[in-house]
Structure 1
């Protein structure tokens, strides 16, 4: 078989370019080291889950009901499904504040009383340490993808249904 010099150079260029393109894709699609879950962190599928409703919308929520789970929350996650969030359950009726350190996606948060009534909704930017505190005491907070509550018409005064009972707290 005979090849011209031009044909050989073209074949060489393709043979070199394809592996480089593949390496470039892998390098840009692999999460940065800072975004990886640290050793001992709970994987998203390891949290208990609950189905909640907000009006006609069904929410698939991971539940953070102990100190370690509440501390981790949605840290290190790189995405959430459209109706997926995290429900934080507290054992005391108080003003529980949140921040977004090591949280890689922007979120909206609804603070709720024991009966599920939303008292406050706030928007939170990714990887910030600003405090987000409710104006009223409560026992639940629900984090959803940023803008979820406003897009669904969910406002303070409305109720979230399907919340788990909190020992020692009456609804």
Structure 2
């Protein structure tokens, strides 16, 4: 069977060139073949034209096929805990929280991501598509740390707080321990927290 493969972006994957062709090869029997070839050529041309114009705009896609936000595209806030200053990118909407630090290959020193939720709850995290190991601190409304957990890269096990809260802060793995930060301490600079 002759099959013409058309790029998947066109919406069709194959056209059967033998469909409806009779063995006698008379002019009337070639019409279905010509129609199939014309359709295949039109679909291929449209796919190439569309693909060529879209190639310049192409970028990696993240969760739910949204473009991946790059470092610097998130809003930022400066936080502090003890004598430590933290430069935190803020994930305060569903799309940003869903992406988080996925696909990052590194974090700058004393940098992380602050997750802000609309409601107090036991918000759990996982590390799917997260390439770097992280530590996470879960916090209540006033920024008091309830839990700190270590998270291995590219894993899907849940990391959940023991108490409901509105904030979580992800930093490079071991950051909290290295700086003597532990549950009961308060992170300052959270919106509406202090």
Instruction: Give ranges in structure 1 of 5+ residues lacking alignment.
Output: 1-35
Instruction: Report the alpha carbon displacement of residue 120 of structure 1 after superposing the two structures with TM.
Output: 0.2
Q: Which residue of 1 aligns with 2:163?
A: 136
1:24-56 CA-to-partner distances (Å, cap 9, x unmatched) read: xxxxxxxxxxxx942611111100000000100
Q: Which residue of 1 aligns with 2:71?
A: 44
Q: Could you tell me which of 133, 148, 158 is aligned with 1:121?
A: 148
- 2:158 counterpart of 1:158: no
Instruction: Report the alpha carbon displacement of residue 132 of structure 1 after superposing the two structures with TM.
Output: 0.2
Residues matched between the structures, number: 132
Answer yes or no: is the 8 Å Cα contact 1:108–1:122 preserved in 2: yes
User: In structure 2, what is the Cα distance between the partners aligned to 1:86 and 1:56?
Assistant: 19
Q: Which residue of 1 aligns with 2:96?
A: 69
User: In structure 1, what is the Cα distance between the partners aligned to 2:68 and 2:174?
Assistant: 27
- 2:123 counterpart of 1:105: no
Q: For the pair shown, which has the larger CA radius of gyration, 1 or 2?
A: 2
Superposed structure 1 runs of 4+ greater than 6 Å apart: none
Q: Could you tell me which of 81, 98, 111 is aligned with 1:54?
A: 81
SS of the aligned residue for 1:71 comes to: helix
User: In structure 2, what is the Cα distance between the partners aligned to 1:58 and 1:37?
Assistant: 32
1:58-103 CA-to-partner distances (Å, cap 9, x unmatched) read: 0000000000000000000000011000000000010000000000
SS of the aligned residue for 1:160 comes to: coil
TM-score of the superposed pair, with normalisation by structure 1: 0.75
SS of the aligned residue for 1:131 comes to: coil
With CA pairs under 8 Å and 6+ residues apart, which has the higher RCO, 1 or 2?
Answer: 1
Answer yes or no: is the 8 Å Cα contact 1:37–1:76 preserved in 2: no
TM-score of the superposed pair, with normalisation by structure 2: 0.66
Answer yes or no: is the 8 Å Cα contact 1:85–1:144 preserved in 2: yes
